[in-house]
Amino acid sequence: MKRVKIFDTTLRDGEQSPGCSMNLPEKIEMAKQLEKLGVDIIEAGFAIASPMDFKSVEAISAAVENCTVASLARCTKGDIDAAWNAVKGAKHPRIHVFLATSDIHMEYKLKMTREQVLKRISDMTAYAKSFCDDIEFSAEDASRSDWAFLAQCYTNAVRAGATTLNVPDTVGYSMPQEMAALIRYLREHVEGIENTDISVHCHDDLGLAVANSLASIQAGATQVECTVNGIGERAGNASLEEIVMNLRTRKDIYDADTGVNAKQIYRSSKLLSNITGVAIAPSKSIVGANAFAHESGIHQHGVISNAQTYEIMKSTDVGIPQNTMVLGKHSGKHALRDKLSSMGYDLDDATLESVFVRFKDLADKKKNITGADLEALVLQGQNLVRTEGSCQFLSHVINTGNGLPNTAYVKLERDGKEMEDVAIGTGPLDAAFKAVNRMLNMEVKLDSYGLNALTDGEDAIGEAIVKVSVADGESYTGTGLSTDVIEASIRAYVNGINKIIESGNLSAVATATPTGWGEYVLASDVY
């Protein structure tokens, strides 16, 4: 069976999509999860793009053991120097150079002739090769390039030392049969291509990124570039989970597989959504909330008689936790450890302890704790920030009603000290967030707010997702869980603020000292 390499670009092309930016600890967390998922290559960023991008690529290179770590670089010495300096600490470094080859990009963007492009590819691939053995060359907008010229570009890249040739459908324009024909053409016309990996990188503008990637595999591609949840520029990139599960479910057609541990798919998808605050559409294939739900009576009856009547995959194949009761109020730490371990979570003692505390807290409010609840608790724990100066939510009281001012009392702990404040707002959340702002003496702006039910039933866990920022600063995603949606929202708000504090953007953060009871905001300020 053919082995297809998975090149994950969630942290580079994926991060370029609106609302998906991640901070350094989040990128490292995600990179470690990608390693557990079993991807072959992690494209960690575009090192020259900003000092933050450089730092992220460098930190991921140090944090990852088994995967190759790649940095993107344009065909310039400055980009290649930055890429190499960022990945050189990796166990398996790769430099990924690219240059556009379509007539429209060469004329209007690069303002270069075909001859100049050919020479630049040779020179810069050789320059990258002088640092690193593993070189990928991408011909940007390959699918709209002249095929004969494109073959010449790839031939030059191979001669200069490229070990992977990537064929991007940059604008998502290709049809599957065209992509397949292009791969077959290149296999015949590029000198030395038999000694390289052939990669494809498909965008989803026409909804065909996965279909194009699969058609390319059938035509001989040995690497696919993709992202978790299909995030990426514009309509996104090919979705990793869809490619992996297509190959696995239709082995009869593709006779190909990847090194991905499919049981880590759901967790990777949830972690990304948790970090970025970008929700997964319920109907999203493989990882959406409805992907394995059977609503109609006919379907339910069929599935009960024989699951294969309507199911081509099992939800457990991709690691979706069962929604059945797994633990209760009286379950102890051992039972929790065993259950988590059977779900694939082997936590160290300190992490288990903190999950256990949150588990007990939840069990007080919710009778039956399901696999989905436990998964949420673990993911939430990964997202908690515990650096110096960060705050922990302790308690709240809300007074709300029709025609009454909405008042919120919130109590937090910061560096071992308890602090509390009260405020009035246009709604209970506005009041609670104002109380937090005043207590911390921060001008925090709420950029967006969302709420999801993570589990079913009247005692479902609510997950609040906020994006918060301080003056002219980056927006940070905070998430919070609780069976009480107001508590979940305050937790999310505090989690987002902790990320601002952790980022070191403290210019906007006064050194907060416990203020005790603050001054009340006058109702007339609000109404």
Burial 271-306 (b: 16+ CB within 10 A, else e): bbbbbbbbbbeeebebbbbebbebeeeeeeebeeee
Q: Please identify, using beta-carbon distances, which residue of 197 and 487 lies nearer to ligand KIV.
A: 197
| Residues in contact with ligand KIV, shown as a per-residue x/- string from 182 to 221 under the rule CB under 6 A | -------------------x-x------------------
Which helix (H) or strand (E) segment holds residue 397: the answer is strand 391-399
Q: Please identify, using beta-carbon distances, which residue of 204 and 487 lies nearer to Zn ion.
A: 204
Least separation in angstroms between CB 100 and ligand KIV: 8
| Residues in contact with ligand KIV, shown as a per-residue x/- string from 11 to 50 under the rule CB under 6 A | --x-------------------------------------
Which helix (H) or strand (E) segment holds residue 154: the answer is helix 147-159
Per partner kind, with CB cut-offs from 5 to 8 A, the member of Zn ion, ligand KIV, none near residue 140 is: ligand KIV
Which helix (H) or strand (E) segment holds residue 177: the answer is helix 176-189
Q: Which residues contact 420 (CB under 8 A, 6 or more apart)?
A: 409, 410, 411, 412, 439, 516, 517
- Here the tokens at position 159 are 């001669």
124-183 residues near ligand KIV, rule: CB under 6 A: 138, 140, 166, 168, 170
Binding footprint of ligand KIV, residue count (CB under 6 A): 10
Least separation in angstroms between CB 237 and ligand KIV: 8
Strands 223-226 and 256-257: unpaired
Please report whether residue 98 would count as binding ligand KIV according to CB under 6 A: yes
Which helix (H) or strand (E) segment holds residue 215: the answer is helix 209-219
- Here the tokens at position 143 are 């699918």
Distances (CA, A) of 307 to 292, 301, 385: 11, 9, 42
- C-alpha 301/C-alpha 307 separation (Å) is 9
Per partner kind, with CB cut-offs from 5 to 8 A, the member of Zn ion, ligand KIV, none near residue 138 is: ligand KIV
How buried is 347 (Cβ within 10 angstroms: 0-12 exposed, 13-18 middle, 19+ buried)?
A: middle
Distances (CA, A) of 86 to 327, 470, 489: 45, 29, 38
Q: Please identify, using beta-carbon distances, which residue of 230 and 496 lies nearer to Zn ion.
A: 230
Q: In what order do the strands lie in the sheet with 391-399?
A: 391-399, 406-414, 417-425
Least separation in angstroms between CB 233 and ligand KIV: 7
Least separation in angstroms between CB 138 and ligand KIV: 4
Q: Please identify, using beta-carbon distances, which residue of 77 and 301 lies nearer to ligand KIV.
A: 77
Per partner kind, with CB cut-offs from 5 to 8 A, the member of Zn ion, ligand KIV, none near residue 482 is: none
Q: Please identify, using beta-carbon distances, which residue of 170 and 370 lies nearer to Zn ion.
A: 170
Instruction: Among 13, 79, 169, 241, indicate the residue that binds Zn ion (CB under 5 A).
Output: 13
Least separation in angstroms between CB 83 and Zn ion: 16
Least separation in angstroms between CB 116 and ligand KIV: 19
Site residues (vs Zn ion, CB under 5 A): 13
Site residues (vs ligand KIV, CB under 6 A): 13, 72, 98, 138, 140, 166, 168, 170, 201, 203
